[in-house]
Amino acid sequence: MNVVNKYVSLDVALAANGDAGSASAALSDIPVWIGREHVYCTVKKGVEVHELDRLVWVYAEMYRSKYGFQRGHQLVMWDRDSSASVLPLKKPYIDASLDRFRKAAPWIPVGYNEAMKESWNADRADYIALVDSFRAAGGRFEADWAGSEIAVVRLKPES
Amino acid sequence: MGDDPTVPQQMHDRPASQPIHSKVAGCGALLLALLLICGDGWWVVYFLGLDFDSSGFVVFLFLLSFISPLFLAVFAIKAGCQMIAPSAEQVLAHDKRPPVIYLRPFAEDTRFIVSIPVGPRNGGKEIISTKAVRASHEGAFKHALKRIGPVVTIGKPGDRLAPLGAARLYVADSEWQVKVEALVRSAAAIVICPETSAGTSWEVHEVAHLIDPRRILMVVPNPKLRPLGYARIQALTTQTLRVPLPTDCKAADAFIFDEAGRPQPLIFGEKLSSTLHPFIEQVERLSEPLGGTA
């Protein structure tokens, strides 16, 4: 996983990564904030910092238990090492969280659909190469097969 | 590994390793499965006839003692079937029709389609996939194409038991290309899953140059679901096929080809034999066996 480090507070994390003074209260409800080169994520015991350039796919997912008693949302960020950071997220903040990625890192595909999932699972090297090509060109990720849906997933029974 | 697909490649230097093929062991495994199932049935009848305190623990023990032999039985049935399944040599000796050769990357044998993106996840709630189906259509091809001839493929080196599906031919790394070329020349039809790896792209090149395109069924990643996979294979065909696959294809699971090598898309339906009917008819019309039509 591309966790650069874990910090006890946002201020410490920002200062350590050269983004001091730029986040203000941005992490109060939305669990992610994006600096110049890093993504700051609030977790249970502090702040996790990821390298922005290593992220290759971001989407929100709605989980539900088998009979629908337990529901919720979370933000999923996949990195080029094929591992994901998952952050609990309240439904009203889904769009704002995803918009932060769209604005700060337009080359990252933001959203979900079957074609993206299958491409990730079966054609990952090509997928990452495509994202890299948009990043290198400094352009917005654009592919007619990419989607902007929210993934609907099943919660593991014991969790 | 060189990039020129026309140059034969030595993948590794592994000798031919044969999986376990034994009618005695296979029948033994099937007998064991039968005994386990019968024993399980007897155990249910016996247990239900007992006068006992039906506490949760006792019920748990009963379920465990009931389910475990069933799992073992399923495993024994599968292993038994694999051990008695005929090898490609046996199939070809018994069925004199020109075979259908199935060429694919070995990874395709174990690829599954799941409902969630795959990879380790850190944090958040744990989720599970609600489906896991084999990506390969090998079993369905075997049944759908048996009208043409026996379906044969090269086995993955190191298989302890030959997977069920097409009959497998296990060859040494040093001779697989010679064997594949001989098989392709003798084939009534070829089912090929192209890939850009050196071995598979060599196979695509050989197939494209050795046989009538009407005998080829090219299985591709469906561009509707795997646009990048399709684009990769489409690019490969620009170097190997007379008429490459279309770049603007919206959906296709496979392509068949006409006499001029023009690809026609096929989308697999629920019943593969119906979907493949045009291909089967086309191959049957070409009654002559293949052989060096390049």
CA dist., res. A78 & res. B114, Å (int) = 17
Cβ neighbours of B126 in A, within 8 Å:
155-156, 158-159
Q: What is the pLDDT of residues B168-216, one digit of tens each?
A: 999 888 888 999 999 999 999 999 999 999 899 999 999 999 999 999 9
Q: A90 at the B interface (CB within 8 A)?
A: no
Q: B97 at the A interface (CB within 8 A)?
A: no
Contact across the interface for A86 and B228, Cβ inside 8 Å:
no
CB-based burial, B2-27: b 16+ in 10 Å, e otherwise: eeebeeebeeeeeeeeebebeeeebe
In B107-126, the residues whose Cβ lies within 8 Å of chain A are 111, 113-126
CA dist., res. B263 & res. B214, Å (int) = 9
Cβ neighbours of B116 in A, within 8 Å:
117, 151, 153
For A33, the token pair is 């904030």
Per-residue confidence (pLDDT) for residue A26, from 0 to 100: 60
- Which helix (H) or strand (E) element contains residue B263? strand B263-266
Cβ neighbours of A83 in B, within 8 Å:
119-122
Show the DSSP H helices in chain B as ranges. 23-49, 56-84, 88-94, 138-145, 176-186, 198-210, 227-240, 272-275, 277-285
> How many CB atoms are closer than 10 A to CB B162?
24
CA dist., res. B266 & res. B277, Å (int) = 10
CA dist., res. A75 & res. B125, Å (int) = 10
Per-residue confidence (pLDDT) for residue B56, from 0 to 100: 74
Query: Helix or strand or coil: residue A86?
Result: strand
For A23, the token pair is 């986040």
Per-residue confidence (pLDDT) for residue B2, from 0 to 100: 39
Query: Helix or strand or coil: residue A64?
Result: strand
Which DSSP category does B98 fall into? P
pLDDT tops 60 at residue B289: no
Q: B133 at the A interface (CB within 8 A)?
A: no
pLDDT tops 90 at residue B51: no
Contact A101, A108 (CB under 8 A): yes
Cβ neighbours of A143 in B, within 8 Å:
227
By DSSP bridging, strand A84-89 and strand B121-122 are parallel
Q: What is the pLDDT of residues A67-125, one digit of tens each?
A: 878 899 999 999 999 999 999 988 998 999 999 999 999 999 999 999 999 999 999 99
Contact A55, A78 (CB under 8 A): yes
Question: Number of Cβ pairs closer than 8 Å across A and B?
Answer: 102
Which DSSP category does A26 fall into? T
Alpha-carbon distance values, B256 to A13, B214, B216, B224 (Å): 58, 7, 6, 18
* pLDDT band for position A14 (cuts 50, 70, 90): confident
Contact across the interface for B117 and A121, Cβ inside 8 Å:
yes
* pLDDT band for position B255 (cuts 50, 70, 90): very high
CA dist., res. B153 & res. B187, Å (int) = 11
Alpha-carbon distance values, A7 to A10, A17, B97, B284 (Å): 7, 11, 70, 69
> How many CB atoms are closer than 10 A to CB A100?
18
* Mean pLDDT for chain A overall: 87
Residue type (1 letter), B195: E
Residue type (1 letter), B264: Q
Per-residue confidence (pLDDT) for residue B291, from 0 to 100: 54
Q: Please state the three-class secondary structure of A87-137 as a single string.
A: EEECHHHHHHHHHHHHHHCCCCCECECHHHHHHHHHCHHHHHHHHHHHHHH
Q: What is the pLDDT of residues B216-232, one digit of tens each?
A: 999 999 999 999 999 99
What mean pLDDT do residues A136-143 have?
A: 92
For A104, the token pair is 């700060």
CA dist., res. B113 & res. B278, Å (int) = 27
By DSSP bridging, strand A46-51 and strand B167-169 are unpaired
Q: What is the pLDDT of residues B74-107, one digit of tens each?
A: 999 999 999 988 889 999 999 999 999 999 999 9
CA dist., res. B293 & res. B259, Å (int) = 13
Contact B90, B167 (CB under 8 A): yes
For A48, the token pair is 């996790």
For A107, the token pair is 């080359």
Which residues, in sequence order, are CB contacts of A130 under 8 Å at separation 6+? A143, B228
CA dist., res. B18 & res. B168, Å (int) = 10
pLDDT tops 70 at residue B294: no
By DSSP bridging, strand B151-154 and strand B167-169 are parallel
CB-based burial, A76-85: b 16+ in 10 Å, e otherwise: bbbbbebebb
